[in-house]
Amino acid sequence: MKRLINIFFNDNIKSLEAFIKTKELFEKRGFEVSETFKEEAELSICIGGDGAFLRGVHNSDFPKVPFVGINTGTLGFFQEISFDKIEKFIDDYIDGKYIVEKIRLLECTLKTNDIIFSNKCLNDFVIKSNSSEIIHLDVYIDDNHLETFAGDGLIISTPSGSTAYNMSAGGSIMYPTLRGFQLTPLAPIFSKVYRTISNSLVIPDTSTLKIVPLENQHKKISFVADGIEKDYTDVSYFEFKKSRFKLYKLVFNENWYWINMKDKFL
pLDDT of residue 254: 84
Task: Kindly report the backbone phi and psi dihedral angles of residue 38, in degrees, each rounded to the nearest multiple of 5, phi listed first.
Answer: -130, 125
Query: C-alpha distances in angstroms, 12 versus 9, 17, 172, 257?
Result: 8, 9, 33, 27
Averaged pLDDT for residues 75-89: 89
pLDDT of residue 231: 93
User: Same topology for domains 3-97 and 106-243, yes or no?
Assistant: no
Averaged pLDDT for residues 65-74: 91
Q: Using CB atoms within 10 Å of the CB of residue 157, give its burial: 0 to 12 exposed, 13 to 18 middle, 19+ buried.
A: buried
pLDDT of residue 196: 85
List the one residue out of 36, 35, 21, 27 whose CA is nearest residue 2. 27
Domains of the chain by residue range: 3-97, 106-243
Average pLDDT, the chain: 92
Task: Kindly report the backbone phi and psi dihedral angles of residue 260, in degrees, each rounded to the nearest multiple of 5, phi listed first.
Answer: -65, -40
Q: Is 51 annotated as a binding residue?
A: yes
Averaged pLDDT for residues 47-59: 93
Q: Is 1 annotated as a binding residue?
A: no
pLDDT of residue 217: 61
pLDDT of residue 264: 75
Active site residues: 50
Averaged pLDDT for residues 242-248: 95
Averaged pLDDT for residues 63-88: 90
- pLDDT over 70 (residue 216): no
- Which residues have CB under 8 Å from 217's CB, separation 6+? 113, 233, 234
pLDDT of residue 262: 85
Helical spans, DSSP H, in the chain = 13-28, 50-59, 86-94, 165-168, 256-265
Tell me the C-alpha distance between 193 and 13, whole Å. 53
Tell me the C-alpha distance between 114 and 32, whole Å. 45
How much of the chain is helix, strand and coil, in % rounded to 5? Answer: 20, 45, 35
List the one residue out of 108, 106, 155 whose CA is nearest residue 128. 155
Name the CATH code of domain 106-243 (choices 1.10.8.60, 2.40.10.170, 2.60.200.30, 3.40.50.720): 2.60.200.30
Q: Place 246 in a pLDDT band, splitting at 50, 70 and 90.
A: very high
Q: Is 226 annotated as a binding residue?
A: no
- pLDDT over 90 (residue 69): yes
What is the third-level CATH fold of 3-97? Answer: Rossmann fold (3.40.50)
Question: Strand, coil or helix: what is 137?
Answer: strand
Residue 156 amino acid letter: I
**Half-sphere exposure of residue 144, counting CA atoms within 13 Å on the CB side?**
4
Tell me the C-alpha distance between 118 and 131, whole Å. 24
Q: Using CB atoms within 10 Å of the CB of residue 12, give its burial: 0 to 12 exposed, 13 to 18 middle, 19+ buried.
A: middle
Q: Is 6 annotated as a binding residue?
A: no
Q: Is 177 annotated as a binding residue?
A: no
pTM over the 0.85 mark = yes
Q: Is 50 annotated as a binding residue?
A: yes
H-helix or E-strand spanning residue 182: strand 180-188
Q: Is 34 annotated as a binding residue?
A: no
